[in-house]
Amino acid sequence: MSTYVIGDIQGCFDAFLELLDQVGFDPARDRVWITGDLVNRGENSLAVLRWCVAHDHAVVAVLGNHDLHLLAVAEGGVPAHRKDTLDMILAAGDRAELLDWLRHRPMLHRSGDWLMVHAGLAPEWSAERAQALAGELEAALRGPDWRGFLRHMYGNEPRRWRDDLVGQDRLRVIANVLTRTRYLHVDGSLDYQHKLGLDHAPAGLLPWFDHPGRASTDARILFGHWSTLGLLLREDVVALDTGCLWGGALTAFRLEDERCFQVRCPGARKPG
């Protein structure tokens, strides 16, 4: 059995199938972990979701910001964005089944030394603390007032985690940290403006994984979300969003021998 961790697919279904074919993926034997953002901006998000639901026994997918956005648009009364490509899902006859499956995905997955999340962790969070807080958000998404959470999910405030946060503020920060983090200020607050890679890191900001106070060094963290960062292979963190949607590549990382596999992606959309 092999476990393949795949970066953000974002509806690029053909590249996803090509990558699975390249590694010889067998759903009866192997497992695929996905770092979130299964959907949106690409051409065939519907096919990606249907494949995942059909192979649920072999798939572990954490939720990304685009996945949460789909749920909010579908059920939370939030308007779609101009660049969204979610109409096929919203019009599908099996829409309810697909969205219910998506809503019940984890926000964080931990197995042994490995921890998978879509974007990043707050510097104050150990792996154990991050897992507990992700569980709070999962409970909200699966609970009776999940639509209420989605309606209040959007917003940049508060920008920094505090243990005394409660209610929607607490859930919003947890969601933003897990699905939107790239750069942090020295005080640990999130920066939402800068999205370029480390060669263009703004003064006064640090990538979340290099914050000097980071408490999550007790796990090896797999993440996506940051396409301009590209493939990053370190002992402590592995970044796997290699920009398939933008004409880059779709990447798989095999946990058993830490080998990477890639397929080139033909798309060349303008980031935004």
Q: What is residue 75's predicted lDDT score, i.e. its pLDDT?
A: 87
Q: Which pLDDT value is given to residue 268?
A: 52
Which tokens go with 271?
A: 């980031």
- Contact 108/131 with Cβ under 8 angstroms? yes
d(CA 261, CA 249) in angstroms, rounded, equals 10
Distances, alpha carbon 260 to alpha carbons 43, 70, 92, 238, in Å: 25, 29, 34, 11
| Alpha helices, DSSP H, located in 126-236 | 127-142, 146-151, 167-180
The string of DSSP letters for 212-272 reads: TT---TTSEEEE---TTT--EE-SSEEE---BGGGTSEEEEEETTTTEEEEEE----PPP-
Rounded distance between C-alpha atoms, residue 146 and residue 162, angstroms:
23
Classify burial at 176, counting beta carbons within 10 Å of its beta carbon; exposed 0-12, middle 13-18, buried 19 or more.
buried
pLDDT in tens, the chain (272 residues): 999 999 999 999 999 999 999 999 999 999 999 999 999 999 999 999 999 999 999 999 999 999 999 999 998 778 999 999 999 999 999 999 999 999 999 999 999 999 999 999 999 999 999 999 999 999 999 999 999 999 999 999 999 999 999 999 999 999 999 999 999 999 999 999 999 999 998 999 999 999 999 999 989 999 999 999 999 999 999 999 999 999 999 999 999 999 999 999 986 554 44
Burial 92-119, CB ≥16 within 10 A → b, else e: eeeeeebbebbbebbbbbbeeebbbbbb
Distance CA 225, CA 120 (A): 9
Token digits of residue 10: 């974002």
Residue 77: the pLDDT is 75
CA separation for the pair 240, 47 (Å, rounded): 21
Which domains does the chain carry?
Answer: 3-264 (3.60.21.10)
Q: Which is nearest to 268 in space by CA: 97, 109, 17, 43?
A: 43
pTM over 0.85: yes
First to last CA, the chain: 38
List Cα–Cα distances, 163 to 155, 173, 182, 189, 215, in angstroms: 19, 11, 21, 14, 15
pLDDT, position 219: 97
